[in-house]
């Protein structure tokens, strides 16, 4: 048995237990005001970060916690480069922010304020490499993604380029690890992205066939080229029974929300099942994925409370969108 991940995985399992409990989540839903929401958050894993920032600045608190988590996981993981699968997503967010910011003639300070700090490279490094046409020294995929984004005339061309090259990047990272769990996880991310993106493009008639397709997963372009082929082939992720209810709902309503939610739930379940093996990096991936989901939930609840949304409507929205 490979024991090198036992300490890191055990530590991640303990950290996961400190994230939002069911009771804390219920209290957040039931909070009657923004002030009460932040009072509830004072009893959660986010409390130390709220104390360091303005008590109503949820974005800063969440971002700092993510950055500190990156530092901790990178320190305890025997091969910290495997976690680049998570961090490089922030690099692509920052690269997209820089490209769009420059097009809009925003100042560098404004652009950098919109960047995220959990990236592999600092936003300042990314901006400098972009301005000097030197992105390839950071990662050849960054350079290729930028060239693709610059040469597209599609409204969503930059977003498509960043998504495509993000998945190419993490596929390369996964292949280099030669770890079966990590390779399976990345394949699953690509598969679920392809399903969700294809259904959205068909529903909204936004893209030509194949525009949003990412290579490297289980599906071929033909497998998900049409609505019917998607519904016929979706069972390749897990088993057909996983998707029965969501597919039936889609056929009845033409609403793909339940398929998207089922895809997210399947990823969660995949991580839970693999996390039973403590000699694997799976618990690290499960913890950080759960943390990101907690951050999304907290951010959405705070935004809803600020907008005056009532609890019933908030619960309905969260059921459709989040696990």
5 and 61 co-located in one domain: yes
Would you state the pLDDT for residue 1?
Answer: 46
Write the CB contacts of 54 (distance below 8 Å, at least 6 apart in sequence): 60
Evaluate whether 162 touches 94 at the Cβ level (below 8 Å): no
Note the pTM of the prediction, 2 decimals.
Answer: 0.92
**Number of structural domains found in the chain:** 3
3-class secondary-structure state, position 53? coil
Would you state the pLDDT for residue 2?
Answer: 60
Evaluate whether 50 touches 42 at the Cβ level (below 8 Å): yes
186 and 166 co-located in one domain: no
State how far the Cα of 209 lies from the Cα of 184, in Å rounded to an integer. 26
Q: What's the half-sphere exposure (Cβ side, CA atoms, 13 Å) at 228? A: 0
- Report the greatest alpha carbon distance in the chain: 55
275 and 292 co-located in one domain: no
**Whole domain around residue 164: which residue ranges?**
84-176
290 and 214 co-located in one domain: no
Would you state the pLDDT for residue 44?
Answer: 96
**Considering 157, 176, 195, which residue would you say is the last residue of a domain?**
176
12 and 70 co-located in one domain: yes
Write the CB contacts of 203 (distance below 8 Å, at least 6 apart in sequence): 254, 256
Would you state the pLDDT for residue 323?
Answer: 47
Would you state the pLDDT for residue 209?
Answer: 47
Alpha helix segments (H runs only) across 151-281: 157-177, 180-204, 227-233, 240-253, 257-274
pLDDT, block means (10 residues), the chain with 323 residues: 84 96 94 93 93 73 95 96 97 98 96 97 98 97 96 84 96 96 98 93 65 90 92 95 96 93 95 94 97 94 92 82 55
227 and 241 co-located in one domain: yes
* CA proximity to 200, closest of 222, 236, 224: 224
State how far the Cα of 195 lies from the Cα of 258, in Å rounded to an integer. 12
State how far the Cα of 102 lies from the Cα of 19, in Å rounded to an integer. 38
CATH code of residue 319: 1.10.132.50
241 and 148 co-located in one domain: no
DSSP 58-122: HHHHHHHHHHHHHHHHHHH-SSGGGGHHHHHHHHHHHHHHHHHHHHTT--HHHHHHTS-SSSSS-
129 and 72 co-located in one domain: no
């Amino acid at each position: 048995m490979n024991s090198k991940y036992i300490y890191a995985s055990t530590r991640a399992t303990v950290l996961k237990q400190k994230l939002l409990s069911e009771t804390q989540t219920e209290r957040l839903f039931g909070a009657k005001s923004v002030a009460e929401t932040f009072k509830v958050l004072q009893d959660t894993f986010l409390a130390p970060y709220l104390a360091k920032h303005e008590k109503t600045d949820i974005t800063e608190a969440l971002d700092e916690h993510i950055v500190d988590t990156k530092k901790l996981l990178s320190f305890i993981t025997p091969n910290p480069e495997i976690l680049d699968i998570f961090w490089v997503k922030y690099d692509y967010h920052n690269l997209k922010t820089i490209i769009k910011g420059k097009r809009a003639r925003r100042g560098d300070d404004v652009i950098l304020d919109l960047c995220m700090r959990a990236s592999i490279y600092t936003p300042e490094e990314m901006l400098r490499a972009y301005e000097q046409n030197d992105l390839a020294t950071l990662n050849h995929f960054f350079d290729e993604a930028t060239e693709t984004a610059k040469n597209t005339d599609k409204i969503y061309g930059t977003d498509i380029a960043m998504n495509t090259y993000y998945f190419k990047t993490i596929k390369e990272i996964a292949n280099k690890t030669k770890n079966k769990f990590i390779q399976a996880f990345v394949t699953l991310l690509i598969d679920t992205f392809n399903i969700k993106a294809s259904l959205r493009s068909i529903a909204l008639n936004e893209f030509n066939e194949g525009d949003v397709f990412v290579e490297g997963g289980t599906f071929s372009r033909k497998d998900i080229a049409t609505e019917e082929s998607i519904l016929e082939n979706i069972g390749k992720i897990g088993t057909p029974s996983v998707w029965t209810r969501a597919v039936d709902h889609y056929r009845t309503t033409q609403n793909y929300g339940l398929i998207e939610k089922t895809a997210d739930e399947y990823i969660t379940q995949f991580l839970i099942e693999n996390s039973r093996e403590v000699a694997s990096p799976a618990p690290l991936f499960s913890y950080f994925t759960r943390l990101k989901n907690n951050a999304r939930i907290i951010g959405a609840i705070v935004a809803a409370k600020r907008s005056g949304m009532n609890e019933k409507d908030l619960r309905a929205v969260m059921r459709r969108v989040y696990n």
